[in-house]
Amino acid sequence: MIDAVVFDLDGVIVDSEQVWDEVRADYARESGGRYGPDAAREMMGMSSPEWSAYMARELGVPGTPDQINAEVVERMLVRYGELPPLIPGAVDVVRRVADRWPVAIASSSNLELIEVVLASAGLSDVVREVVSSEQVARGKPAPDVYLEAARRLGATPSLCAAVEDSHNGIRSAKAAGMLVFAVPNPHFPPGDDAVADADVVLSSITDLTPERIEAAVKPPY
């Protein structure tokens, strides 16, 4: 049985992983820091305190982590404008799943960015709980954000399904003990080891249906 379903946001509902990469790269270089090809993958899944500290420490971006975080988020809000790049079909999937189970978001994005996406998508009234990794002790791949989402929903983590696209996201949901549906991100594909950890691998978010979720639940022994 399933008690609840927890969705990641970036790469699952909104096609934004490459937007984050572009914004951070531009800011790092414009401010006198550096940005190599591994930076995006290193920061994927980190909470905002973690990635902003990483940019200061590892990429040589001047300013405090709080200053870096504020500037990057402001640029992300400008890029989103009034129409974030929603993944085709994702909103309908969330609504169908929410008709059957309580739904939460467990994301590495900042709260203000999550709220913009949900409002634009018309999902603010559908998603019961929203957890940003900035609200927990550790970002992904630690399980904290998924465990907190389950706690807020009053659900047992092992009876929750999680929907993820990234390497660290899949590992985070798996570490929380959830049934993991992976929709590999085409821009930043998860490693083979993370994909192997997923319980179900889908080629598209539109392949996720309540029936598919129920079929993946293993019977008790």
Whether 104 and 184 share a structural domain: yes
User: How far apart are alpha carbons 208 and 22 in whole angstroms?
Assistant: 29
Do 119 and 180 belong to one domain? yes
The boundaries of the domain holding residue 34 are 17-80
Q: Which of 3, 10, 144, 199 is catalytic?
A: 10
Active site residue 197: no
- Residue 221 pLDDT grade (very low, low, confident, very high; cuts 50, 70, 90): very low
> Of 203, 151, 149, nearest to 181 (Cα)?
203
* pLDDT score of 220: 58
Digit-coded pLDDT (tens) for 62-110: 999 999 999 999 999 998 886 899 999 999 999 999 999 999 999 999 9
Residue 172 within a domain: yes
Classify residue 221: in a domain, yes or no.
Answer: no
CA distance 11 to 148: 20
11 with 74, same domain: the answer is: no
Which tokens belong to 139?
Answer: 């970002």
The predicted structure's pLDDT at residue 196: 97
**Which among 8, 15, 21, 165 is annotated as catalytic?**
8
Q: Are residues 11 and 23 in the same domain?
A: no
Q: Are residues 155 and 195 in the same domain?
A: yes
Residues 37 and 90 in one domain: no
166 lies in a domain?
yes
Q: Is the domain of 76 the same as that of 149?
A: no
- Both 57 and 104 in a single domain? no
On whether residue 186 sits in a domain, the answer given is: yes
Out of 37, 60, 80, a domain closes at 80
Looking at 45, 80, 115, the residue that finishes a domain is 80
CA 154 vs CA 5, 23, 147, 149: distances in Å: 12, 36, 10, 9
Number of domains composing the chain: 2
160-164 and 103-107 beta bridge pairing: unpaired
What is the rounded distance in angstroms from the CA atom of residue 148 to the CA atom of residue 95? 22
Identify the CATH number of the domain in which residue 46 sits.
Answer: 1.10.150
Q: Identity (one letter) of the amino acid at 142?
A: A
Specify which residues 6 forms β-bridges with. 104, 162
- Residue 114 phi, psi (nearest 5): -60, -45
Contact in structure between 121 and 105 (CB atoms under 8 Å): no
pLDDT in tens, 191-220: 999 999 999 999 999 999 999 999 999 765
Same domain, 28 and 52: yes
> The CATH number of the domain where 112 resides is what?
3.40.50.1000
Q: Which of 80, 101, 129 is the last residue of a domain?
A: 80
Evaluate whether 167 touches 145 at the Cβ level (below 8 Å).
no
Confidence band for 41, pLDDT divided at 50, 70 and 90: confident
165 is catalytic: no
DSSP 130: E
Confirm if 168 and 45 have CB atoms less than 8 A apart.
yes
Q: Are residues 185 and 107 in the same domain?
A: yes
Give per-residue pLDDT as tens, 138-183: 999 999 999 999 999 999 999 999 999 999 999 999 999 999 999 9
The verdict on residue 23 lying in a domain is: yes
